[in-house]
Amino acid sequence: MHLAAEAFFSRLLLHYLFLLHLFPIRFGFMRS
């Protein structure tokens, strides 16, 4: 059960970093 929670947290962290990487690109497109 602890491993499942750990995997969920790591997946959530990956999605968070992915969104953080996408937001500047979207803002760049909106500005230009």
d(CA 5, CA 10): 9
1 three-class SS: coil
Structure tokens at 5: 């929670």
Would you mind telling me the total number of residues written for the chain in this entry? Answer: 32
Instruction: Quote the pLDDT of residue 7.
Output: 95
**What is residue 15's predicted lDDT score, i.e. its pLDDT?**
94
What pLDDT score does 30 carry? Answer: 73
pLDDT band, very low/low/confident/very high, at 32 (cuts 50, 70, 90): low
Tokens 């999605």 belong to residue: 15
d(CA 15, CA 10): 9
pTM value is 0.54
Q: What pLDDT score was predicted for residue 23?
A: 81
